[in-house]
A and B are shown apart, each in its own frame.
Chain A
Amino acid sequence: MVTTTPLEAELLELAGSVPDPELPVLTLRELGVVRAVHTRGAGTVEVELTPTYTGCPAIEAMSVDIERVLREHGVREVTVRTVLAPAWSTDDITDEGRRKLREFGIAPPRVREASGPVRVELGPTRTRDGQAEDGLAPVRCPHCGSADTELLSRFSSTACKALRRCLTCREPFDHFKEL
């Protein structure tokens, strides 16, 4: 067990308070992408950051923002290191993060029981109360809460989202895909 010093805990809190560059309603801590902060001698800090998707372009903006915030708090040298393992999962998004996504108009990812590759099924793309296409709870409309929604496209404005439509209020919405 690696112990975390009070200073590291404080810096982790600071790094985690940085807003996500693409979804500014979420902080990096709520998104679950800041893995650790290590102090390396006087005024030198290393931050471990994990990408949501391997090709996520936001990771560079995140690194720059973390460096800036830590420097503003007196850290002289900040290194942000990208770590891939263990792979990030949407289960790493906190409950608070999920609530904020919903308020922002994005259906949050559903929580899965076991982590690992998403099992994809060839089947209907519509979800209703109690019957989803993949054995998970139905995807609910973030606007009206209806469980009667359908998939329009597996990929939306970013790789991490799918485009759906509510069949009750007819509004289209983004769904943060389970990963």
Chain B
Amino acid sequence: MTTTPAKDTAHTTAALALGDDALVLSHRLGEWAGHAPVLEEEVALANIALDLLGQARVLLSMAGDEDELAYLREERAFRNLQLVEQPNGDFAHTIVRQLYFSAHQYLLYAELASGDGPFAPLAGKAVKETAYHLDHAEQWTLRLGDGTDESHRRTQRAVDALWRYTGEMFQPVEGLDVDRAALETAWLERVTETLGRATLTVPDGSRTGAWAAGAGRQGLHTEPFGRMLAEMQHLHRSHPGATW
């Protein structure tokens, strides 16, 4: 795939961060294949994963060789958010992870698309795809939160459990010229509105600081990530250069 190479190392850092987010979440969503609750959702999650994989390919190609970056880096070299590497859990957990991430990615891409930086062409394209991902996550959050007692309980549990991973999305990234504070305000507003309509409670726990999680951008990852990478990279490492 032909893309414009990043102009300097700052943009390489940003391309890696955004590319790794897309790649890792794509892989997690792909793990639902064969396990989703209904066929329509299996297809929906696979389609969202495919969109993210396409974005990851463009972004990683801006930083270097896409295959080498995806398959031959060690855990500590990945720059993705800890949020996206969290295991799928139950369906509610996957939906809430998607709600938190897609709301952020949608707002971020919209801002990048309006500028003229190196990420504008991709962001202009991807923001339209992400709008559908966000819509899908919001619709399911409403349905699960305002559904049965069981679906409400599970969704609230996911909302609470993943909350501490959300502050990391608004930490500065070198080479990414966006207004982080404005992004965070807009994100909180959108997520709060959706959770409210879904009869869910916005957690009051900290999203930053000592009790929050999030050092993925520095290469520090949570324990399940290593196992995910082992599975994702196994084929390429076992059979270097293999093609279909």
Contact = CB atoms under 8 A, between A and B. Distances in A.
Contacts of B40: 152-153, 155, 163
B135 A159 contact: no
Contact of A156 (B41, B43, B128, B134): B43
Nearest to A87: B125
Interface stretch (A21-29, A47-55, A93-101): A47-55
Interface stretch (B49-57, B76-84, B228-236): B49-57
Contacts of A85: 120-121, 124-125
B127 interface: yes
A88 interface: yes
Contact of A54 (B41, B120, B122): B122
Interface in A51-107: 51, 53-57, 81-89
B70 to A, nearest CB: 14
Contacts of A177: 132
Interface stretch (A7-15, A116-124, A135-143): A116-124
Contacts of B148: none
A158 interface: yes
A154 interface: yes
A45 interface: no
A54 B138 CA distance: 22
Interface string B95-126: 00000000000000010000000001110111
B132 A153 contact: no
Interface residues of A, number: 31
B54 A155 contact: no
A84 B122 contact: yes
Interface residues of B, number: 38
A57 B194 CA distance: 33
B51 A159 contact: yes
B109 to A, nearest CB: 9
B131 A117 contact: yes
Interface string B127-143: 11101101110110010
A179 interface: yes
Given A53-B129, A54-B54, A55-B53, A155 B47 contact: yes
Given A54-B126, A153-B44, A117 B110 contact: yes
5 contacts: A54-B55, A82-B3, A85-B121, A87-B128, A118-B131
Smallest CB-CB A-B distances: 10 pairs: A55-B54, A54-B54, A85-B121, A153-B40, A155-B44, A120-B135, A155-B47, A87-B125, A84-B121, A159-B47
